[in-house]
Chain A
Amino acid sequence: QVQLVQSGGEVKKPGSSVKISCRASGFTFTSFGFSWVRQAPGQGLEWMGWISVHNPDTSNAQKFQGRVILTADKATNTAYMELRGLRFDDTAVYYCARSGPMRFDTSGFYHFWGQGTLVTVSS
């Protein structure tokens, strides 16, 4: 069955970086893309970015330009999201979600999600 397993929670200092992994199984990793979504306490879902494993393509929300780096390791079927320059308001649960392999893709919805990774930014 399709599974996305994320790395564990992290506590980080302001200004530092966090890198979250999302290990995929149960499907052909290279046929899809992965989106990253976060939810801050008491807030809604916020799209951060997307990476295609199928093609060399990636896209980030304008808000995170220059701070988020998305990568995918085909050898280990793992997607990664690194967020740099952490601020207090980056405290949130971060989710990976399987998405389509193309930018304009009718399969770009998120049927499968990782369990979420809580990142707490605290001094």
Chain B
Amino acid sequence: ETVLTQFPGTLSLSPGDRVSLSCRASQAVGARYVAWYQKKPGQTPRLLMYGASTRPTGIPDRFSGSGSGTDFTLTITSLEPEDFAVYYCHQYYGSPHTFGGGTKVEMK
């Protein structure tokens, strides 16, 4: 099983800040098999990125993804008030799929 470790666990930031969220896999995962989701309390997870760096239609371009092998990053260039949430990385290479533990982005 591929374990995904996200760090840091929590970030305290302000609107307008730039943030980079990290996700490290315990073994190499093809870049085409990594996704990122945003999760807010009481809401369904929202797909932000798939294939490590592809944004679905409707996701603002302030979100970008990068990485390959074992290290992946989600970057938000300028935080908007609606971006304060928990972010999860996900690998879907074969089985089992796994999620990272999440990074909470909270308002300072």
Question: How distant is the Cα of A40 from the Cα of B35 in the complex, in angstroms?
Answer: 21
Contact A50 B45 (CB under 8 A): no
Q: A100 at the A/B interface (Cβ < 8 Å)?
A: yes
Contact B37 A45 (CB under 8 A): yes
**At the interface with chain B, which of A8-16, A74-82, A109-117?**
A109-117
**Size bracket, chain B contacts:** 20 to 34
Question: How distant is the Cα of A59 from the Cα of B96 in the complex, in angstroms?
Answer: 7
- Out of A45, A99, A114, A116, name the residue touching B92 (CB < 8 Å): A99
Count of residues in A whose CB is under 8 Å from the partner chain = 29
Contact B102 A110 (CB under 8 A): no
Closest 5 CB pairs of A and B: A108-B92, A109-B35, A59-B95, A109-B50, A45-B99
B residues neighboring A (CB under 8 Å): 1, 32-33, 35, 37, 39, 44-45, 47, 50-51, 56, 86, 88, 90, 92-102
A residues neighboring B (CB under 8 Å): 35, 37, 39, 44-47, 49-50, 59-62, 95, 97, 99-100, 103-106, 108-111, 113-116
